[in-house]
Structure formats: structure tokens, C-alpha cells
Structure 1
Amino acid sequence: MEVLNGSGDAGDLAKARGVLLDPGAGKRRLGAEALRTALVDLHDFWLSSRAAAIGLTDRAALVAVGALGRRELAPHSDLDLVLLHDGRKDVERLAEQLWYPLWDAGIGLDHSVRTPGQAVQVAATDLRAAFGLLEARHIAGDPALSDKVKVAVRQAWRAGIRSRFDEIADSAQERWRKVGDVAHRVEPDLKNGHGGLRDVQLVDALAAAQLVDRPAADVIAARGLLLDVRTELHRLAGRARDVLRAQDADEVAAALEIADRFELARALSGAARSVAFAAEVGLRSARGALPRRGLAALRRAPVRSPLDTGVVEHAGEVTLARDASAARDPALVLRVAATAARTGLPVAAGTLHRLADTAPELREPWPRSALGELLSLLGTGRPLVDVVESLDRTGLWGRLFPEWGAVRDLPPRDRAHVWTVDRHLVEACAQAARLTTRVHRPDLLLIGTLLHDIGKGRGGDHSTIGESLAIQVGRRLGFGEPDVALLGAMVRHHLLLPHTATRRDLEDPTTITRVVETLDHNGLLLDLLEQLAEADSLATGPGVWSPWKQTLIRDLAGRCRALMAGETLPAFGAPTEAELAAAAAVTADGRPQLRVDDTSAPASVVVAIPDQPGALAAAAGVLALHSLEVHAAELHTTGAVAVFTFTVSPKFGGLPDPALLRSDLVRALDGRLVLAEALARKERDYAPMQPSGEAPAPPRVKWFDDEATGAVVLELRGTDRIGLLHRIAVALEGCGADLRWARVATLGASVVDAFCLDSGSGAATLAAADRLRIEKAVLAAAG
């Protein structure tokens, strides 16, 4: 602070802030907590010096609220200041001489001028102002005036909390609904999200009303991490920012000496879940502790209503009966959880802590009653999510499933997933509960879904590792050996159907035979995997379970059942009647043909063109130009005619006029329509906007060999673009690749596209140099 002087020059303040944020070469960079402390001290010193210089002494006081009041000032947080006075005539002069230098220096400022009565009144009518004034901190001037306001605001807060509580709870719930969870978002809002810094302030406000205790140690530690991340995010961005974007996370992690963005995400998830749990429990506890007045004070205490053996409802929460004992009743923990999920009532915090202190580990194998209660819990669907979260935050879920530790708060490794791995497992189980009527063994569907990704976070193939863990858990739960083996197979092969459906040719009998042999001709396992694929996709993120993916997996499962039943599968590679007719028409007059079949959804478009370079790229480009989303493309060559069958759906409105599609196709083939330019214009006008400064994730390519058909499958993962299939087709044709079929899966803003390339040698022997050349071309086209 040696750069400041007694004149209160805000320019010096701005320079001092700059020095703290960028101390210069060779000078020590302050850590996040030290930087906040230095920023608070700097602003306190400048404000108090300025206040003294302008005569702000008696009958007026300057107080800080918000981040400065809480001593949590991040590098680019606004200053929240209140000028209190008790009728001084020169208060407008004082305000101007305080505020204008800060504005001139470009320092963000939120300000107000109040008498004590006005401050109390605004706190009584504005929740945001009330929360700020509850945290008010004296900076300069008359300390007695600051204390007077602080005491009056707190007294009014406590006195009026009963009438304001519903507004407090409703505003928190609305914020959580709108912003989402910090713990489970790929790009969390550290301040406003569920489990963020505003929830710590919520608990503090409830404690100020003497309804709950002050935050516990885990919440205080979580608050510290959230503040540190937000501080480094401000410093990195050069401006105020509360949302931690994926591309900033590695730099923030490095600044905090955390290994990488995944470790940072995991730490943030654990911290945010502690805060979220404290806020939720705090609201429930506070509601029960509200002072009763009038006739309400004369009413009898809430009655304890029996819900199940050892479980009662009391004051709107699930709690234990007076004689219930977890030591004597091994199923009690799960019965409490299942009852809470079934009734929609939360488990009382005291009950959770009592069970955490007294419930022993279940012996192996579990008693039948405990397994029954677990299945009852898992079968409730959506209500189980909050119940499992409450069990997990108090250590009870980990006691039931020790294997859970490796996936707890584990961040996803790809953009399609929106949940941490543990939350994804619970979300998938909630989805599977809706599908239990489709299978003969709903119990195995629920347990297998709960465990399908349990092998993640341990290194190696998570399906293989998960199989052994699922077998271990199945035996502990008390399943017989045949069922244990089936659970292991579910986890081992949980990706078999979706990967085969999107990476293999379902018309090829070899594909179906391989799936059936992999499943050892087990129809029950096939049924379970089909429903698990749907639950897994629905719990991954928006758009992952698309109508087209559903069609592919059901088609694959249906063909597998037919083969298991001894039915003969259709011949491989035979063109359909529509394709033959289109090819014949081209042969007859030499002109391209285009036919649309919209009798089922999604629709199909058959395009027949005299075999020539660029035919596929032209057809795909015309479809993209008319806003048709391509889900799959099958290719056949009939004589000298190339026939493409596209499965499509319109992104907007209905299907375009086939005559217009054909006209544009002819123009594209003869060069009158330059597709690259037309698609670039369309992308410029209609592509979704990226957040400011955010670059899309770089595309990736994976290769899969199919030894049976002599083909290889190139899988492209990247960000969706208008005309992407056209660009990839141009790249593949430029490399001389022989494309057999393509499948396109759009997962929100991401795509997973598979292209089957024929090696032409009868074996999957596409040379490494050729693969590298094709891969570079495809990545360049997708980038």
C-alpha cells in the first residue's frame, strides 16, 4: 500500500490493484487467499483515507456489504458500499466525493445512501439487501452508527423471519432450478449454483435468525475452495466471472497447485455437495424451528405417524421410531431410505447422523430384508436421487457400497456427460426404474444399472474392472451364482449394443452373429442390456437418447432375438426395391434421381447418381443446405450407378420439396451450385453461437477393425457443424477411401460419427500410413 497516499487518489488505488494482480517479473505472486486479504486491506485503507480526507467522521459512517463486507473480495468483484447518515446536510457531497473517484478509476461500484431507518426498511422489503446488511462491516466514520444499524437489522431479521421464510426458501429453490448444481455441471456457476457461495450466505443468514447453527467445518472448507477457484478465475479472465469454463479449468487448477482440471472438478464437486446438503438441511431445520405465534403456539406438537417398521413421519420428515435400533435391525438404514423415496419426504438430519453413528456394516451375504429394501429404494425412480445423495453425504451409502469411493465426485471425461460418474449411476438407475416392466428380472436391471460404470476411476478398461466389482457386489447382496454371473456380464457388455448399433453394419449377418455369440445366446441378458442402454443414454445428457439411436438399438436387439430363435436373417448387402428402382431410372436417362419416403419417422431419402467422384459429398451437402439432419447413410453401387440411402429428419418444420432437392443436387453436380460457399454462408447465419471467447473442443478420431468383413470403422468425435457430413465426405473422397456406410449421432452440441471404410483386401488391413493420412484429412475437415 506504499503506492497510496493520504489524498485518496483513486488512480493510485487502481494502480495498486494492478500491482497485486500482476506483481511483475521476479516478484512473488500472491496465492488466492492472500490476494483476497490484500485486496480487502487495500480497499479498506483507501476508503478510510478518503473518508477522513472529505470529512466523513461524526453522524455518518461508511460500511461495506457483499464481498468486501465478508472479506471475500475477488480481483474483479464490485465494491458494495452503503453510506449511512443520521440527517447530515452535506451527505450528497460526501457521497459524490466517495463515488466519483471510484467510477473515474474504472472500479465497479454498487452504492446506496441510507439513514438507519431507511436501511432497516429496505432490509425488511428486499431479501438481497437484507442478506448484504446482515454481513455489513464498518469501514470509516462513526462506528456507533454502523453498530446501531447492524443491531437493528439483525433484530428485525430475527423478528420477521417467520413471515419471510417462504420467500427465502422459494427464491433459493428457483435459483437452484434455474442455474443447476455446481457439483454436477461441466461448467459450474461458483456463485449462484446449487452448492455455490450464495448457499453459504444462505446458511449464514439462517444462523443469524437463530434457526440453525453456524456452518460446520466441512462447509467452511468448501467455501474456501470455492472462493479460491473464483479468485483465480477472475485473475485469469481479467474480469468478473462466476462460471468456470472447461477451457479455463486447467490454468485455474495449475494456479491452485491441483494436478489438472479433472482433479479440480472432483474437488469442486465434493465441496459443492457439502454446501448444497448444508443448505437443504438448513432450510428444513429452519422451517421446523420457526417461532410459533398466536393460535399456532397453542397447538400440540406434531404427531409421530408410523410409516414402516421402525420408521415414522414427524414434522414432515422421515425419522426413527423411539424403539428403532440399527444394531438390532440390519435393514433399518435402507428401510428409512426407501420410505423417504416412496413418500417424497426428506430424511431428518438427526436421523441420518444417528444412523451414521450407530448402523453397523451389513454382514455378507446381506439379509434378504436388506436386499428387498435396496430394491424398493432403487425402484422408486426420480425420488431415489435426493435420498442417495443424503445417504452419501453422511457416509451411509459408502458403508453399503465401499466400491463407491472411486467414482464419488469423479468428473466425466467427455462432453456428452453432464453428471459426475456417481451421480450418473444414480440417474441411470432412476431411468431404469421406468423400464422394469419390460424385463423378466427387474431386480437385475436395477442393480446392473446402478453398477454399470463402477469400474471407472481405477485405470484400465472400466467394463472389465467393473465386471469383477459387480460380481463382488452381487455376492455381497446375496444373489445366487447364476445371477451374480449375469450382473457381471451386464457390466462387462453394457456398451455392446450402443457401440455395435452405431459402429457396425446391422444388415450384415456377421454383425448379428458376433453379438449373439458374445452374449452366449442369452436372451435375458440381451433384454437387460437393451433397457440398460436406454437408461444409460437418458442419464448421460440431453439428446444422447435420440429417436434414431433408439431405432438402431431396437433393430439390433430384434435381429439378435431372431437369430437366437433360429430365424434366417436377410441376405447381406442386397439393395432395396426403392434403391433398385432409382438405379434403373438413372440407367435409363442418365440423370440423377432423388426420392423421399416419409411414411415412417425418421424419413429416408434415396439418391441415385451416375457413379462419379464427389457424388456422396454433393448429396450430403444438398441435404445439409435444406436443414435435413442425417442420421445414417448407406451406400450401394449398382452397375455404373451409385445409390445412397439417407435416414433424415428436418431440423426445422417439415421435409423440403423433393423436386427442389433434386434441382439443387443437379446444380451441385454440374458446378452451378458451389456447396462449400453455400454451406459456409448457412453456417455463418444459422450456426449456434459459441460463448464469448470459447473455442469448440478439438475433434478426435478412433479406429475400429472388423476382421470378419475386411472393413475398418473410423469414428469421429467432435463439435457439430452444419454440413459436417459433406465436409467429411469430401475429405474421404480426396483420400481415395472407399466408404461403405456412415452413421451420424448428434449428442447436444457434439457428434459421434462412424464411417465404414472398405480396405478392399478382404481383411481389416488398411495400412497405418493410409490411416494417418485419412485421419489428418478428416480432422482438418471437422475442425
Structure 2
Amino acid sequence: MSVDPTTNKAADLARARAALIGSPALAPEKRPVPDAATLRRALGDLFELWLSGQARDAGVTGGSGFALLAVGGLARGEMLPYSDLDLVLLHDGDQPEKVQAIADELWYPIWDANIGLDHSVRTVPEALRVAGEDLSAALGLLDARHIAGDEDLSDLLIGEIRQQWRRDAPRRLPQLVEHAQQRWVRAGEVAHRSEPDVKNGRGGLRDVQLLNALALAHLTDGLRLAAEDAPGGGLGTAYRRLLDVRTELHRVAGRGREQLRAQDADEIAAALHLGDRFALSRLISDEARTISFAVEVGLRTARGAVPRRSRSMRGLLPVRRPLDEGVVEHGGEVVLARDAIPSHDPGLVLRAANASARTGMPISTSTLHRLADYAPEIRGTWSGSVRDSLLDLLATGPALLEPVEALDRMGLWGRLFPEWDFVRDLPPRDAMHAWTVDRHLLEAVAHAAPLTTRVSRPDLLLLGALVHDIGKGRGGDHSEIGARMAGVIGTRMGLWPDDVDILADVVTHHLLLAQTIARRDVDAPETAAYVAGKIGHSAVLLEILGALAEADAKATGPGVWSDWKETLTGRLVANTAELIGGGVVEPPAPLTEAALARYQADDVVVEITPTDQDHRFDVTMSAPDESGVLAKMAGVLAISDLRVLRAVVRSEAGKAINTFTVAPFYGDPPEAGLLRQRLRGALAGTIDVPQRLAQMRSVPEPRAPRDGVPGQAVLAPPVVRWVHDDVATLEVRATDRPGLLSAVSAVIERNGGSIRWAAVTTMGGTVVDTFALSWEAPVDQRRRLIIAEQVRAACLET
């Protein structure tokens, strides 16, 4: 659809853009534009035609003293479906009475067309002054391109801006670097995030624009970086492919989104003819790594190109300082010594990486290429020195990430670990994971390094962290597959056979503690016996698994490891260690006669005691043991703004005496007397707990977005499953809502079940509740399915 340049109506522009983009509901093959690049060109032509006509009608013509310039995506020829228009109205300052009227005639139709607009009105001196003060404005104006009006005025600004940038860029380089680093902290890394920001993240599109700005100031070689045979691959190709991803991301999302969500990945992959989201993830990671490498080299070159003050003649000659055997520092980089021979030294790669991690200096590009060209694969069993170099590298913690990334980019890491090919750039299947699988493994090592003093075998902890998920991406149980692979890796590295067995066991059981905490009572003696039996009563393996559980959780994503999970893991490990050491794990202390008498003296008792953790309290409630009492207790806690983290249920002499570990949503918990009063009311029926909970939730009926307008919040579908274990365990995953524990408890109690204990974990607004149950009579599979369906319905009740 074209725009009539004589009318320039906002509605024409809106309709034309919508026709080009097409509905995101259409299959890719039915969309009006065949590919992302064609769509960008068509959108650019559309906006330029419309703006030229609008500018002409507003009096912005040749020799008028006014000019319309594009910056941003339109200026670069990269107009995306829902990108904002970035425009500058330039004037010579001789006709101030016309400026506002012309600006209104240009800007208002764009707003009326519901198109985002970033605009400014400047004279040439004003634009130069703003660019000199505001780094973002300066970078934007470097892309400025004439659209309509007085072309001489546009050329004057473009020429002056670029001359000013070349003059000031060396002085502003530290500010430019800090600006980029702050952006990287906010947006993360494109190559390894499971849901990357392809525009702003490290290795994203804005980094290429940063390199272009450096090249324009002659601080780095833009042509070399853009070449197809450049280090790390062609920057231009990487940029175009990420731009295609971003284009389809806009089209699928129906708005200007920069972060690729997992639920959109398959559709974007199909539009780009990539097959599935795994292929898309690998493409994004590959291209982002190319850009990251280029920006790293470009910034390093730019720093070297800026003259330093007060450098003596001696200071101009970089000193070669030894760092390790065959590895030296030269000019702030890790390089090979003059007499180093990579083809005869298999351990040289790891020593260079280790030196980089310990000093914080990057491995030079020439060194990486020399190692890639000549370093041999290690055939047969590793020597002890090579293995020690790997362990030294892993022990550096977060510092290992950059050098390992450099090795992997050049194919050197894969020579050490051929198994890495299966997990490289592999997107996670679980939404809780923030990283691709390969980066998750390295993050786990980084988090394990500070924990090495907790265990007697720190080497096996680090190696276990490195390979615990190595079996992913092959189908089947990744723990079993990974254990076999870990055995091969350990043997190749020259570990003692017993150590190879431990490493394989670490991979086999790396989820054991987390799953046990979720499904069993950590304080029960039989739980410690269960874990000890699983690990063959190995104290060394138990230590490693305890530390790895923490490192693995921290490497998964924010909020996965909590102080509460740390407490439960610590108690489980301590109880199991006591049992393995020949001690006896005592069950929770029974109620003393005095406590039992206190609970028997009154029909309803409520006690609140602080725990050893901040904002955590134990609430013990006692009431006559009858059907539904647990649901009412949990409901009273919910309407009192207390989130239940764990519940332990017991019955003594006809009384239900249940202890809940709770966390107030805010402030301190209510007084025990108030909770007691509310529990009495719930038991007597004077307080309708379900009704109170419904009022608290007050969630309108969910509805989907419609016509591009966001809908109301949609509840994630709950997942309810029976865990096949020697304990009848029901696992419930659902959107966190007030009274969820009460609702599920009510279903279980209505069906004749008793809850022995319950644990609640909340992650990102989703709860994972686990209930250990007992039944008065055996429950067959059909009955279990009915109960699960009733629980699922209860999770969705409003």
C-alpha cells in the first residue's frame, strides 16, 4: 500500500505501515513481506516518502532555511516495524516566528498515526553544543541523514558533528566505555542469556554502532572489524542477522520489544527459516560472540590509540613481564613468550587462560590465533600439570568467564572438552534458567569456587560443577547420560579410578538434595537414611553435593537460592552426615508433658516464636483434630498476611498441633491473640475463610490481549502431579495467590487424606508446594487422578 504524497494524512501512514507489517497472527509464509530485510527497506521508503511530502507542505524546502534530518534507525536504513521515528528539525535561526508552526505540522500527524517519535528542534550551534554535552546525543547525530529541505544546512551540521567527534572522542573515550559498561550491566550478555536483549546487551546491535563511532574517530579500524575474515567472523554479517532477529521480534510481539522471550522463539525461528528455537538460540549466540569479540578488540585498540600524558621514552616501550611458563604480559595483554612453542606444549592454552583470569588482562588476539593454529589436541591421558592448570583456572571463580569465552570462541575449549559441543549455546528448557546451558556450567563453577574450603575434595567440586549438566541436549535423563560422559572426561583427565567414580556420582546425584528437600521432611530420620543410601554412605560425595546444590541454584537465576533453601539444605546435609558418621538422627523432639498440657488446657492455642533467620517465624496452632482443620489454619494465616514457607503436622491426644514457618508480607506478624481469635472464628464458622480469601484475591476473570491492547493478568495453568516415591507426595506448581495452601489442604482433607508435612517455595510469582500425605485407606490410580484434578481446579478458583 502506498501513501498519496498530496494528502499526507496520519491515517494513510498508519494504514500503510500496518499493511506492510501484517498481523503477527499470520503464518510467516502468508505475510505480505517475504523477509526481514525487505520489510525494513519497505518501511524506510514509506516513512521517507511520507516525511518528504509532509515537510514540503510545511515549507521545509530547498533554500528555506529549514531541514529535516533522520537519526537512529531511519537514518541507518534500519526502520523496524515498531521503532520510533528519531527526527531533527534544523533551522538557520533567521525565522524564529515560523519554527513552532513548522514543527507542529511535522510532529502532530506522526503522533496522530500512533507512531513513537523522538524529536528535537535545533540550530547548528545548538546541536553542536548538545552533542558536546550529551554523549547519547552525540552518538545519535553521527548517523544523521538528510530527508528534506535545505540540504546545505544538513550537510553543514553533519560535517561539523563528525569533525567535533573526531576532535573530542579521545578525551571522551573513558565516558564512552563507562556508558557501554553500564548498558551491559543493565541488559546482560546476548550470547548466553536465555532471553537476550538483542539491541542493548553485550554483543548486541548497539555495540556495532559503538564500534562505528570509534572507527569514525579513527580510534579503531572499522574496515578490518567489518571484514568477513575478521577475528571471530564477519561483523557485518553478525549485525545483519541480529537485525533480522530484532525485526521479526517486533513483528511477532506487535510492539517495539528488544528482549526475545522464550515463548516467541519458535515463531521467530520459523520466520527466519531456522527450524526451531534451539537453532535460533545458537545463531544469536554465535553472532553475539562475534560482536563481543569485535567490541573487545575495538575498545582495546581505541585505548591504545589515545596518547597518554607524561609518557617517557622508556614508557613507550612495553615491558614483557613473565606470568607463567611460556606466558608473559606485554602492553596490558597476555601473550606468549618468544620461546614458547604451542605445537609442543599442550598445557600452554590453559596456562594462558589462567594468567588472564588471575591478572584480569585479556589474551591478545594474535595469541589466540596462534594458539588456535598450532595448539594440539591432547591425545591420550592428560598430564598432571595440564590437569592442575585447569583446576587453577576453575578456582579463579568469576574471573574464568572471559578467558574461557575467548578460548571457546577460537575453538580451543572444545579441543579440551569435545563434549562441550552438545551444550554450547543450548537454550534451557526450564524458564527459571537465566543462561544457556554452557554458560550455566561456567556460572556454577564461578559460584562453586568460594565454597571449595567447605569440602575435603575441592578439585572434584569444581570439576563436578563444570560437568554436572553436560548430558543435556542429547535426550533422555541428563543426569544418567552426563554421569557416563563425566566418567569418560575424568578418565581422559587422568583422575584416579576412585575419583572418576565420585565425579560420575556427583553428576548422577546433583539434583538429589534439591529434590529431597522438595519432597520429604528434612528433619525425619528416614530422610537422612534415604539420602545416605542413595550416595552409598559417602561422606566425601555428600560434602560435594551440598556445595554443588548451592552453586547450581545460584547459577540458575536470581531468587532460586534463598536463605530458607540454604537452611533446609544445611539441615539435610548435617543429618545425613551424622548418620554416615555412625551417629543417630533423632526425630523432632516430641512434645513435653508441659507443652502437651498447655495445648490440652485450651481448645485453641496459638504461639509465635522467632527463628534464627530474619523475618521468619514459627507459628504453632493447636485445635481439636477434625477434618478440615489444617485448611482453616492455613486460611487464617493467609488472611493475616502471612506467607507459609513450611508446615509440619502432628496429632496428639485428639489435638491437631501444627507448626508453620511463615514470613510476613510486610512488617511484623500479628499478635498471637489476634490469630487465636481468628482461628476460633474459622472453626466456629463465624469467619468464612474461603470468602475472605476470595475478597483478598479479587482477580477479575482472565482474558487474552485483544487488538494490540494488553489484557488483564492471565494465570499460568497449574501443574499437579504425584511423585512416584516411597512416600505419597503431591507436587503443585501454580501462580502464587493468597490462601493457595488452604485451598489445596481442603481438597486433600475432603478426600480422606492427612498431610504429614508440606513445603512451599516461591520463585518469580510461582509456588512449588509439596505435600507428603497419608491415607486412611489405599488410594488407587484413578482416585489419585481425581484428586489431582480437584487440586488443579482449586488453584484456579477466584
Deviation at 1:741, TM superposition (A): 1.6
Residues 497-531 of structure 1, C-alpha deviations (whole Å, 9 max, x = no match): 22112212345444333322222222211111111
Kindly report which structure 2 residues correspond to 1:598-613, keeping only aligned pairs within 5 A, or say none: 598=610, 600-601=612-613, 602-613=616-627
Q: Is the 8 A contact 1:56 1:94 kept in 2?
A: no
CA–CA distance in 1 between the matches of 2:192 and 2:694? 35
Higher alpha-carbon deviation: 22-31 or 176-185:
22-31
1:17 match: secondary structure: helix
Instruction: Structure 1: state its 5+ residue gaps.
Output: none
The 5 A counterparts of 1:638-657 are 638-657=652-671
**Is 1:163–2:171 an aligned residue pair?**
yes
SS in 2 for 1:539: helix
Structure 2 SS opposite 1:39: helix
Q: Distance in 1 between the 2:634 and 2:12 partners?
A: 61
> Aligned residue for 2:161?
153
CA contact (8 A) 1:62 1:138 kept: yes
Is residue 5–residue 49 contact of structure 2 (8 Å, CA) maintained in 1? no
- State the one-letter code of the partner of 1:656: P
State the match for 1:473 in structure 2: 489
Q: Which of 720, 723, 743 is 1:704 aligned to? A: 723
Structure 1 CA distance for aligned equivalents of residues 189 and 793 of structure 2? 36
Inter-CA distance 268–750: structure 2 relative to 1 (3 Å threshold) = farther
Alignment of 1:95-244 (within 5 A): 95-214=103-222, 215-216=225-226, 217=228, 218-244=234-260
Structure 1 residues 297 and 700 mapped into 2: Cα distance closer, same or farther (>3 Å)? farther
Q: Distance in 1 between matches of 2:131 and 2:310?
A: 25
Q: Is the 8 A contact 2:3 2:50 kept in 1?
A: no
SS at match of 2:295: helix
State yes or no: 1:659 paired with 2:665.
Answer: no
Residue 308 (structure 1) aligned with residue 324 (structure 2): yes
CA distance in 2, matches of 1:436, 1:673: 53
| In structure 1, distance between residues paired with 2:744 and 2:46 | 56
1:596 and 2:613 are equivalent in the alignment: no
Could you tell me which amino acid in structure 2 is paired with residue 377 of structure 1?
L
Within a 5 Å distance, the mapping from 1:162-561 to structure 2 comes to: 162-214=170-222, 215-216=225-226, 217=228, 218-261=234-277, 263-291=279-307, 299-561=315-577
Shift of 1:587: 4.0
Q: Is the 8 A contact 1:712 1:766 kept in 2?
A: no
Out of 57, 64, 73, the residue aligned to residue 62 of structure 2 is 57
Residue 231 of structure 2 corresponds to which residue in structure 1?
Answer: none
Flag the 1:606–1:57 CA change in 2: closer, same or farther, 3 A: same
Of the candidates 774, 777, 783, which is equivalent to residue 790 of structure 2?
777
Alpha-carbon deviations, 1:218-277, whole Å to 9, x = none? Answer: 443333343233323333443323233444444444444444445544443443343334
Q: Secondary structure at the match of 1:577?
A: coil
CA contact (8 A) 1:318 1:346 kept: yes
CA contact under 8 A between 1:502 and 1:552: conserved in structure 2? no
| 2:67 paired with 1:68 | no
Shift of 1:463: 0.2
Question: Structure 1 743/55 Cα, relative in aligned 2: closer, same or farther at 3 Å?
Answer: closer
* CA apart distance, 1:168: 0.4
Alignment of 1:740-751 (within 5 A): 740-751=756-767
Match of 1:615 in 2: 629
Q: Which residue among 23, 29, 48 is the counterpart of 2:52? A: 48
CA distance in 2 between partners of 1:280 and 1:681 (Å): 55
Output the amino acid matched with 1:16. A
Residue 382 of structure 1 aligns to a residue whose secondary structure is helix
Contact 1:586 1:610 in 2 (8 A): no
* Structure 2 residue matching 1:754: 3-state secondary structure: strand
Return 645-654 or 751-760, whichever deviates more: 645-654
Distance 1:606 1:121 in 2: 68
Flag the 1:592–1:27 CA change in 2: closer, same or farther, 3 A: closer
Contact 1:594–1:661 (Cα < 8 Å) also in 2: yes
Residue type of the alignment partner of 2:11: G
Letter in 1 for 2:683: L
After TM superposition, the score normalised by the length of structure 1 is 0.91
Contact conserved, 1:185 with 1:419, CA < 8 A, in 2? yes
Letter in 2 for 1:597: T
Contact 1:330 1:362 in 2 (8 A): yes
> After the TM superposition, which of the residue ranges 214-223 and 201-210 deviates more from structure 2?
214-223
Letter in structure 2 aligned against 1:199: D
Aligned to 1:22: 22
Alpha-carbon distance in structure 1 between the residues aligned to 2:716 and 2:304: 48
- Structure 2 counterpart of 1:717: 733
- The range that moved more, 14-23 or 138-147, is 138-147
Q: Residues 599, 446 of structure 1: CA spacing in aligned structure 2 closer, same or farther, 3 A cutoff?
A: closer
Report if the CA contact (8 A) 2:85-2:117 is conserved: yes
Query: Residue 453 of structure 1: SS of its match in structure 2?
Result: coil
Task: Give the secondary structure class of the aligned counterpart of 1:327.
Answer: helix
What's the secondary structure of 1:76's corresponding residue? coil
Secondary structure class of the residue paired with 2:650: strand
Name the CA shift for 1:256/1:583 in 2 (closer, same or farther; >3 Å). Answer: farther
Structure 1's 191 and 564: CA in aligned 2 closer, same or farther, altered over 3 A?
Answer: same
User: Alpha-carbon deviation of 1:537?
Assistant: 1.6
Distance 2:628 2:459 in 1: 52
Q: Which amino acid aligns with 2:725?
A: D
| Amino acid in the other structure paired with 1:663 | Q
- Identical amino acids, percent of aligned pairs: 51
2:693 aligned partner: 679
Alignment of 1:618-629 (within 5 A): 618-629=632-643
- Give, as a single letter, the amino acid of the residue that structure 2 aligns with 1:468: R
Q: TM-score, with normalisation over the residues of structure 2? A: 0.89
- Structure 1 counterpart of 2:529, one-letter code: T
How far does the alpha carbon of each residue in 1:597-636 deviate from its partner, in whole angstroms, 9 at most, with x for none?
3364454222221112221111112223333332221222
Stretches of structure 2 lacking an aligned partner (at least 5 in a row): 229-233
Counterpart of 1:34 in structure 2 is 38
Change (3 A) 1:497 1:104: closer
1:43-96 CA distance string (max 9 Å, x none): 122223344453511355432110101111111212112234445638625544
How far has the Cα of 1:360 moved from its partner? 1.7
* Residues 294 and 512 of structure 1, relative CA distance in 2, 3 Å threshold: closer
Paired letter, 2:328: V
* 1:190–1:242 Cα contact (<8 Å) kept: yes
Tell me, yes or no, if the aligned pair for 1:4 and 1:16 is still in contact at 8 Å: no
Q: CA offsets per residue over residues 167-197 of structure 1, 9 Å max, x none?
A: 1011111122223333444543332233322
